[in-house]
Structure formats: C-alpha cells, structure tokens
C-alpha cells in the first residue's frame, strides 16, 4: 500500500471517529446551518455557527471529498486548539478534542 493510500485510510478513520464523538457528546445535528453560515469566510465559520456544526457540515464533507477525489490533504492543520478554547472545562467533549488532536498530528506529520 502506498503512503497516500495509507494516509487516506488513517484520515478516514479519524473522520469517522470525529463523527462518532460528536454523536456521543450529543452535538450531532439533523439540521444543516443556513446558506449564510455555510458561506462564512471566518476561521471555523465561528461568526455564524458553533464549532460542532463546522466540524459536521464543513470539515467532515470537505475532507471526505479530498479523500474520494485523491486530492492532497492539508499538511498544516490546527483544529484541536480551537476546540480546546471553545470547549474548555467541558468534560464530555474531551474525547472529541482528543480525536481532533490526533487528526491534527496525523496530517501535520504527513508533509
């Protein structure tokens, strides 16, 4: 198996773990954010949607699309620090923060 295929596989596992952690923390939403929120240009769309919605409706689909199209994955990513900031002192979200940190490390080490 080549390195790209291995990285895609490992990344897909992390994305699945993020989705599961969102559900376990009861942060999974059945309703998508508004078109305006989806068009936000702020980092993490933090001006128009909570971080958990950005993860579910922006990060997960975009990353899965990169994998599906065999496009290059980001090599400089820092989602966990934002999650730590937003969800500090929220024990139920620590598992999710941990998985986000693992995704950050996986992609940052892949350069």
Nearest to 79 by CA among 98, 50, 104, 110: 104
CATH code of residue 23: 1.20.1440.40
Q: What is the pLDDT of residue 57?
A: 97
Count up the domains in the chain and report the number. 1
Q: How far apart are alpha carbons 8 and 26 in whole angstroms?
A: 27
pTM for the structure as a whole: 0.93
Domain limits for position 38:
3-108
User: What confidence tens digit (pLDDT) does each residue in 33-82 have?
Assistant: 999 999 999 999 999 999 999 999 999 999 999 999 999 999 999 999 99
Q: What is the pLDDT of residues 85-97, one digit of tens each?
A: 999 988 889 999 9
């Amino acid at each position: 198996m080549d390195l790209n295929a291995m990285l895609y596989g490992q990344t897909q596992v992390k994305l699945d773990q993020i989705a599961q952690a969102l559900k376990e923390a009861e942060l999974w939403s059945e309703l998508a954010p508004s078109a305006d929120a989806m068009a936000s240009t702020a980092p993490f769309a933090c001006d128009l949607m909570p971080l958990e919605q950005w993860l579910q409706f922006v990060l997960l689909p975009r990353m899965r699309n990169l994998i599906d199209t065999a496009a290059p994955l980001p090599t400089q990513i820092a989602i966990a620090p934002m999650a730590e900031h937003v969800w500090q002192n929220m024990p139920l979200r620590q598992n999710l923060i941990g998985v986000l940190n693992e995704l950050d490390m996986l992609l940052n080490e892949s350069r």
